[in-house]
Amino acid sequence: MTGPVIELDQVVKRFSGGTLALDEVSLVVPAGERACLLGPNGAGKTTVIRVLNGLLRPNAGQARLFGIATDAADFLAAKRRVGVVPQGPGFYDELTAAEYLELARRVYGRGEVEATAALFDLEPHLAKPMAALSSGFQRRLLMAAALLSEPEVLLLDEPTVGLDPVAAREVRAHLRSAMAGRTVLFSTHNLAEAEALCDSVIVLREGRVLLHEPIATVRQRFPQHALLAARQGPEALTRALSADGFESRIANGAVEVPLANPQDALPDLLRHLLAQGLDVYEAHTVEPSLEDIFVAVVKDGATGGPA
């Protein structure tokens, strides 16, 4: 399929208590794209995943997988082409790991339990109840169940949240392998993780989409900056920059200077500073990180950097 694989079209979801979780959310994830879903707590990320999985019904609008609406009679066929990794095992924590994988095999109608367990190093734990597994192995088991049927699409709901650094690294390695060649919608709070694993970013705030673009594209709309250090110290450097009309800030003993085109502007700036007697011994450009972009978008509701 070359068209949209994951779609939300003006989706509204309001819970019984009156909370508006999704406010006319529209997004499209085409085949092969690995999209990261970012947002503060309560932004609606998990609700998006549950609506797409058919666990929640929208109050308005429509959600589709492979062009099939979640309320359509043939949605089950589309759902069986999707692997879902929830945040936790839900009501199944008394099942053994082997029983949980067998349940997934029966639901999807295909898959090899033993072979999939081996991919995630789960063989020694197959006889254990899910509740007895560590958080890291629980997440491995959830990923194994999601991949058992070799799905075309993955819906991942914060798969590394709450894990210690070692377990998170191990799960992330499995995620990198699992996401390759698949269409993915990946909800996470970990911005470094999103940057490493995803192609595009979708930023939600208060149930609305603020941004959905390739990470590389959106970076171009946010200013790069130069990082400078001088023997005279950061205070002297910021004073000289301020006198020349440059905004700057001190960060970790160095000075950050936003520049629209650092590659062209930085050589002239360095010559000017050296001519003023400042011994600049470090100068390099830094691209905005996904964290910088996320903070700017969520704080200001912006869809691009400053003019």
Mind listing the pLDDT tens digit for each residue in 206-249? 999 998 989 888 877 776 788 889 999 989 988 888 888 888 88
Q: Which residues make up the CATH 3.40.50.300 domain(s) of the chain?
A: 4-219
User: Exposed, middle or buried by CB within 10 Å (0-12, 13-18, 19+), for 58?
Assistant: buried
**Residue 215 in contact with residue 199, Cβ under 8 Å?**
yes
Reported as a single tens digit per residue, the pLDDT across 263-307 is: 788 888 888 888 889 999 988 888 777 777 777 777 766 544 432
Minimum mean pLDDT range among 84-93, 153-162, 166-175: 84-93
**Residue 195 in contact with residue 209, Cβ under 8 Å?**
no
Residues contacting 48, CB < 8 A, separation 6+: 8, 22, 25, 37, 185, 187, 204
Residues contacting 274, CB < 8 A, separation 6+: 280
**Residue 83 in contact with residue 153, Cβ under 8 Å?**
yes
Reported as a single tens digit per residue, the pLDDT across 33-70 is: 999 999 888 889 999 999 999 999 999 999 999 999 99
- The letter for the amino acid at 81 is R
Give the domain 4-219 fold. Answer: Rossmann fold (3.40.50)
Give the pLDDT mean for 8-13. 96
Report the distance separating Cα 287 and Cα 305, nearest Å: 13
State whether CATH 3.20.20 applies to domain 223-287. Answer: no
Top pLDDT among 99 and 249 is at 99
**Per-residue model confidence (pLDDT) at position 303:** 47
Q: Confidence band (pLDDT; 50, 70, 90) for 1?
A: low
Alpha helices in the chain (DSSP H): 45-52, 75-79, 97-108, 113-119, 135-147, 165-179, 191-197, 215-220, 234-243, 262-275, 290-300
pLDDT mean across residues, the chain = 88
Q: How many percent of the chain have pLDDT more than 70?
A: 95
Report the distance separating Cα 281 and Cα 269, nearest Å: 13
Q: What is the pTM of this model?
A: 0.79
Find how far residue 268's CA is from the centre of its chain: 38
